[in-house]
Amino acid sequence: MRYVRFRDSEGTVRRGEWTDDEGAEIDAYPVDEGRIDLGEETVAADEVEILPPCDPSKIVCVGLNYADHAAEQGKEVPDRPLLFLKPPNAVASHGQTVELLPDKQRLDYEAELGVVIGERCRNVDAVDAESVIAGYTCVNDLSNRDDQSVETNWVRGKAFDNAAPIGPVVASPEEVPDDAAVQCRVNGELRQDSSREQFIFSVPELIEEITAYLTLEPGDVISTGTPEGVGPLEDGDTVEVTVEGVGTLENEIRIP
């Protein structure tokens, strides 16, 4: 199943099931104190406001998790996952016009598979990692290269407002194959084309490493790294991040 969060015409935040490949229809669920009861209502996706499919307290991002991306960045393949954080202010939703930072020479797209955590967890062994996964989503790890290149903590480079569009849905684990394709298109042109099969560190390995250091909360996202083909964005660009089994996250870029 593929779950979506949205705000209906009355301003109520609701949850539903994305019911076709184009996302034209949503089977809507009423939400009551954490309980979800299946309803009969179907709504058109273009008649509601699509929200981020989860509400993360943090996004834990993985750098250089594809050997080809490490090569294009002139970096060595790391011997353990390279981790950094994006805070909630970075989250943007599917269909949102994403306003980025002004006066920067290079702002890049990065298509990534996102792992959505389903329960509070710490010190999870890799063999048990699947038990804490709610599902998968698409992430665009937008990057400000101007500042990233001159600082060590990457706050300016990675944690700015709207730097992490996610969505449009959370797909249950069985929907996303082990070799799921991860792609990015800019204005319809294919720029990145790889798969999760090319990860240096697998999803279970990432969960084990991350939870050895910090507690993950329900709705938190692990952004698993980007393949080769990253590049700069311009004002007015349309970026599409596609993960096989999830769907396509689409945003228009605004650069003041």
Is there a contact between 251 and 97 (Cβ–Cβ < 8 Å)?
Answer: yes
Is there a contact between 201 and 129 (Cβ–Cβ < 8 Å)?
Answer: no
Closest CA to 240 of 139, 115, 145: 139
- Please calculate the CA angle 19-24-26 and round it to the nearest 5 degrees: 45
Q: Phi and psi for 197 in degrees, rounded to 5?
A: -65, -20
Q: For 73-123, what is each residue's pLDDT tens digit?
A: 888 888 999 999 999 999 999 999 999 999 999 999 999 999 999 999 999
| HEC readout, the chain | CEEEEEECCCCCEEEEEECCCCCCEEEEECEECCEECCCCCEEEHHHCEEECCCCCCCEEEEECCEHHHHHHCCCCCCCCCEEEEECHHHEEECCCEEECCCCCCCEEECEEEEEEECCCECCCCHHHHHHHEEEEEEEECCEEHHHHCCCCCCHHHHCCCCCEEEEEEEECHHHCCCCCEEEEEECCEEEEEEEHHHECCCHHHHHHHHHCCCCECCCCEEECCCCCCCEECCCCCEEEEEECCCEEEEEEEECC
Domains defined for the chain, CATH in brackets: 2-51 (2.30.30), 59-254 (3.90.850.10)
Q: What is the pLDDT of residue 36?
A: 34
Task: Give the strand pairing for 31-32 and 35-36.
Answer: antiparallel
Q: For 185-228, what is each residue's pLDDT tens digit?
A: 999 999 999 999 999 999 999 999 999 999 999 999 999 999 99
C-alpha span between 152 and 143 (Å, rounded):
14
pTM for this prediction: 0.92
Q: For 118-177, what is each residue's pLDDT tens digit?
A: 999 999 999 999 999 999 999 999 999 999 999 989 999 999 999 999 999 999 999 999
Report the first-to-last Cα separation within the chain, whole angstroms. Answer: 38
Q: What is the pLDDT of residue 92?
A: 98
